[in-house]
């Protein structure tokens, strides 16, 4: 299991120190883990994402 400090290390220092972002950082980390799992799945070709599911990660 990964702890919150390890997750925070993926984000800019200004966000790491702000406790308001802690839930958002955890949420984004979990989303990235799910997307990574799906991308390695044989079912990825059958999936479609509706809305802006991964746009922020791709644009930045």
Neighbours of 15 (CB within 10 A): 14
Per residue in 10-51, pLDDT (tens digit) is 889 988 888 888 888 888 888 888 888 988 999 888 887 777
Query: In terms of Cα–Cα distance, which of 7, 13, 12, 5 is closest to 25?
Result: 7
Query: In terms of Cα–Cα distance, which of 34, 12, 9, 8 is closest to 22?
Result: 8
Measured between its terminal Cα atoms, the distance across the chain in Å is: 27
Per residue in 29-38, pLDDT (tens digit) is 888 888 889 8
């Amino acid at each position: 299991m990964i702890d919150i400090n390890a997750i925070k290390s993926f984000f800019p220092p200004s966000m790491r120190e702000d406790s308001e972002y802690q839930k958002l950082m955890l949420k984004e980390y979990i989303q990235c883990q799910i997307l990574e799992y799906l991308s390695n799945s044989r079912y990825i070709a059958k999936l479609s994402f509706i809305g802006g599911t991964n746009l922020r990660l791709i644009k930045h």
